[in-house]
Amino acid sequence: MRARYPHRMRILVARCTVDYSGRLVAHLPQAVRVIMVKGDGSVLIHSEAGSYKPLNWMSPPCTIRVVSAPAGDVAEEGGDDLVETWTVEAKSGDRLVISVHEVIHDATHDLGVDPGLVKDGVESHLQRLLAEQVAVLGDGWTLVRREYPTAIGPVDLLCRDATGRSVAVEIKRRGEIDGVEQLTRYLELLNRDPLLAPVDGIFAAQEIKPQARVLAEDRGIRCVVLDYEALKGTDDPGLRLF
Amino acid sequence: MRARYPHRMRILVARCTVDYSGRLVAHLPQAVRVIMVKGDGSVLIHSEAGSYKPLNWMSPPCTIRVVSAPAGDVAEEGGDDLVETWTVEAKSGDRLVISVHEVIHDATHDLGVDPGLVKDGVESHLQRLLAEQVAVLGDGWTLVRREYPTAIGPVDLLCRDATGRSVAVEIKRRGEIDGVEQLTRYLELLNRDPLLAPVDGIFAAQEIKPQARVLAEDRGIRCVVLDYEALKGTDDPGLRLF
DNA sequence: CCGTAAATGTCGTCG
DNA sequence: CGACGACGTTTACGG
């Protein structure tokens, strides 16, 4: 059974020091920061700059233990004003210790369950659209199947060209070297299958980096730049099952 | 010259809808969320669950434009209570539109410049430890150099075995397929150097994923599982320079 | 639960 | 500025 957490979000602005130990060891000197405690128990420590990644954090599930500083106790760093110490710990042993020296703001809000994010334009959409329109790769081409399984993972599309020759297609939003390597591994494996071989390769992406293109073409892999909007425009929603 | 931003962090708890368009298109239905506006202009939208990644965000640098809703204006979603609309835009054209329907909390704090984080990573540590103890790879082995340079990047370690044969070592914390590909590219290049060739390969990691092991061994690359604690234990601090 | 691939990845570093 | 590798990657998906 999954633990039920109260639907609450606590936002604390405080002068603090932070120590993380786990996959690495890190220390944050004393400064004013924002500490968010989410309803699921996770903790985020943000400064005023930097993008969305916190300076330190603890992912759920984890436990928070708060110990008030005894009157007159002296903190290890920054003098004599320690208010309380939070110990946030995961099962893995990862630990975050927050020493709070001054609370500037403290509020808790009930946000409720978030209905979540609706996305459009990710790789799976490209794959679905191209699967429905394999003819954009060549006249008379047909789809054998999406997510064609191999021992080392599924190939995005397996097609046949007008002459019946097999073609494996790897689809990326942004085509980089990794994707070419991935397709190369699939091709090597597929070409060992006498029922399929010879198998050609197509590297299809909305954007193909020059080095990826060079590597692909050097290996005889055709590169195709996909136009998502055009694919979406041609796409007939009536033909879709869902 | 770098732009100077005011050292401020605004924290808003509000019922809102959010639309992102940029590298993809995404929509958040109306709900109560925390909106953080950092001193550098970046915007983060957090819900009550999920780990450190916000539901939506905009990285700096970006501009924020706020338009108050005319009295009686009707929002597209959720009825008639639109308060204001924020448009957060990056130079790339990425855009975040936040429709604020109800402000539950709004506060701005001056955090000051954060002194920053002190880190001690694991992989660099592994590399240093193994460099000092290449004998764990085989009796009589010697280190040629760490970060041995090649045209496509530095190899973690270049060694010689007891017979004088060259060995390239790729070190990872977690050994996955990407690491094997990386080492393969290095080996291909190093083996073109008549002064070094033939060059063997070792894939060394704290943990090696099964598929990575299969691929490596299929290519004649030896896999070595590193014991971080043991290496650290054997390590003589007196031999270290720092 | 494990393993792999995707990500609005982000974040350094180096050329 | 682009390319590349590391990341306390996190997150989603499939067996």
Q: Do B28 and A115 touch (CB under 8 A)?
A: yes
> Higher confidence at residue B91 or residue B74?
B91
Q: Inform me whether the pLDDT recorded for A134 exceeds 80.
A: yes
Give Dmax (Cα) for chain A.
85
State the pLDDT at residue B74: 59
Lowest mean pLDDT among A92-96, A226-230, B94-98, B122-126: B122-126
Average pLDDT of every residue of chain A? 87
Q: Count CB-CB contacts under 10 A for residue B70.
A: 8
Digit-coded pLDDT (tens) for B19-49: 999 888 999 999 999 999 998 889 999 999 8
* φ, ψ of residue B57 in degrees (nearest 5): -165, 170
Q: Is the pTM of this model over 0.85?
A: no
State CA A61 to chain mean position distance.
19
| Chain A interface, best mutation among B7, B57, B117, B214, by max A CB count within 10 A | B117
Cα distance from A181 to chain B (closest Cα, Å)?
8
Q: Which residue of B has its CA nearest to A11?
A: B11
Q: Given the structure tokens 């969305």, which residue do they identify?
A: A52
Digit-coded pLDDT (tens) for B126-142: 888 898 899 999 999 99
What is the distance in angstroms measured between the alpha-carbon CA of A112 and the sugar C1' of C12?
37
Which residue type, as a one-letter code, is found at position A13?
V
State the pLDDT at residue A239: 47
Q: Do A48 and B13 touch (CB under 8 A)?
A: no
- Which nucleotides of strand D come closer than 7 angstroms to any CB of the protein? 3-11, 13-15
Nucleotide nearest to A156 (CA to C1'): C5
Q: Inform me whether the pLDDT recorded for B143 exceeds 70.
A: yes
How far apart CA B221 and CA B149 sit, in angstroms, is 20
Nucleotide nearest to A124 (CA to C1'): C6
How far apart CA B103 and CA B83 sit, in angstroms, is 8
Q: Inform me whether the pLDDT recorded for A144 exceeds 50.
A: yes
Strand duo B222-225 + B62-68: pairing: unpaired
Nucleotide nearest to B123 (CA to C1'): D6
E strand or H helix that includes residue B234? helix B228-234
How far apart CA B241 and CA B227 sit, in angstroms, is 22
How far apart CA A190 and CA A200 sit, in angstroms, is 10
Q: Do B34 and A111 touch (CB under 8 A)?
A: yes
Strand duo A222-225 + B84-90: pairing: unpaired
Q: Would you place residue B241 in the very low, low, confident or very high pLDDT band (cuts 50, 70, 90)?
A: very low
Lowest mean pLDDT among A175-179, A189-193, B106-110: A175-179
How far apart CA B65 and CA B84 sit, in angstroms, is 10
Cα distance from A125 to chain B (closest Cα, Å)?
11
Tell me how many degrees the CA angle A70-A76-A80 measures, rounded to the nearest 5.
Answer: 55
Q: What residues pair up with B21 in beta bridges, in sequence order?
A: B25, B95
| Strand C nearby residues, CB < 7 A | A 50-53, 117, 119, 122-124, 152-153, 156, 172-174, 179, 182; B 20, 22-24, 26, 54, 56-59, 94, 96, 149, 176-177, 209-212
| Chain B interface, best mutation among A15, A33, A51, A150, by max B CB count within 10 A | A51
Range among A12-26, A174-188, B78-92 rated most confident: A12-26
Record the tokens describing residue B176, joined without a space.
Answer: 């996955």
Cβ-nearest to A60 among B51, B109, B110 = B51
Lowest mean pLDDT among B93-97, B99-103, B204-208, B230-234: B230-234
